[in-house]
Amino acid sequence: MILFYLTIYCINLLLWWGIVNVASSTNLLTDSKNVQLVLDPSLQLLSRKQRKLIRQNPGILHAITSGLQSAMKECKWQFRNRRWNCPTTQSPNVFGKIVSRGCRETAFIFAITSAGITHSVARSCSEGSIESCTCDYRRRGPGGPDWHWGGCSDNIDFGQVFGREFVDSSERGRDLRYLTNLHNNEAGRMTVFSEMRQECKCHGMSGSCTIKTCWMRLPTFRTVGDFLKDRFDGASRVIYGNKGSNRASRMDVRHLEPENPAHKPPSPRDLVYFEKSPNFCTYSGKTGTVGTTGRYCNSSSPALDGCELLCCGRGYRTRTEQVTERCNCTFHWCCHVSCLNCTSTQVLHECL
């Protein structure tokens, strides 16, 4: 038992993501306002500071787990056609060994989970499900010639501040990995922040819009995922540099410099990495890659989802499957839909 806890402690504090599994499999969520956090063994995955933050913000545990769930779902969707398709497990180490590396995929996991927490917390504030925050009401008064601020803005400030405290506190160390992870965490939060949009509503007689009130709304999480996926494709490989600083001992994300001096320094919203990705082709217990055997591929695509690339040249087997779908649905007034069952044959290609 002692060994078990020591092991958890030593493989860093990267296990906090694991609460997505434990919290949903117990009654933690139904009782999130009074839960005995200190006694619940599942929350051993969190640091002391993280547990304190949860205790101080009743209702927030639910926002955290649902933010993590959205992040995992989005990660899988964005990478569904690639060799690395964001596999997750039910164990405390949700994303597996990839999180302790420094490759592009690691960068994406940090950014999307950090974005997920900020997004979910900001929205939960405006929905009133966290006791310590509300809508963001700081914008008041006229906003332009024909509109004024009003209504309930999603509380992105609270989401960002909480995210920095909660997510970043799982990082320890004084090295390139530490700086890279912190940078990518912040890139995730910044992406949520910078995609906030104004939404407005018209008042006045029959839609005349004589009075317009507006508020700030979070982007959809798909928008955040799309942006981060673009940044994954254009991620910068960085090294630790000391340029322009005589305080070399102080760790700061500003010390991250592009490995290739001809490249621009990464902007705060860019993803950064410092290690080449494995090829993700075959199973390896050592690196924690599951490989692409058994994955479905597209035999006519020349892209990454095509059988040639996805199966890493090993070839594939083809089988047919009968699929039954609802089809020719008709709507009957009122209110009932009837459908036929159409059976078709689908050809599936599976990597060897």
Ligand X SMILES: *[C@@H]1O[C@H](CO)[C@@H](O)[C@H](O)[C@H]1NC(C)=O
* Contact residues for ligand X, defined by CB under 6 A: 298, 300-301, 328, 340-342
Minimum distance from CB of 97 to ligand X (Å)? 30
- Contact present, 221 and 70 (Cβ < 8 Å): yes
- Listed in sequence order, the residues at least 6 apart from 60 whose beta carbon sits closer than 8 Å to its beta carbon are 53, 54, 121, 124, 130, 132, 162
- Token pair recorded at residue 272: 């950064």
Per the omega criterion (within 30 degrees of 0), is the bond before 335 cis? yes
Nearer to ligand X, 300 or 322 (CB): 300
Cα dist from 176 to 144, 239, 255, 267, whole Å: 46, 7, 9, 17
Q: Are strands 316-332 and 336-351 parallel, antiparallel or unpaired?
A: antiparallel
Instruction: Please provide the DSSP assignment of 8-34 as one string.
Output: HHHTTTGGGGGHHHHHHHSTTTTTTTT
Minimum distance from CB of 324 to ligand X (Å)? 7
Nearer to ligand X, 27 or 341 (CB): 341
Minimum distance from CB of 338 to ligand X (Å)? 7
- Contact present, 180 and 107 (Cβ < 8 Å): yes
Nearer to ligand X, 3 or 347 (CB): 347
CA distance 188 to 219: 13
**Terminal alpha carbon distance of the chain:** 40
Nearer to ligand X, 21 or 81 (CB): 81
Nearer to ligand X, 134 or 301 (CB): 301
Q: Tell whether the torsion through CA atoms of 280, 282, 285 and 286 is positive or negative.
A: negative
Minimum distance from CB of 152 to ligand X (Å)? 40
Nearer to ligand X, 198 or 338 (CB): 338
φ and ψ of 64, to 5 deg = -65, -50
Nearer to ligand X, 27 or 328 (CB): 328
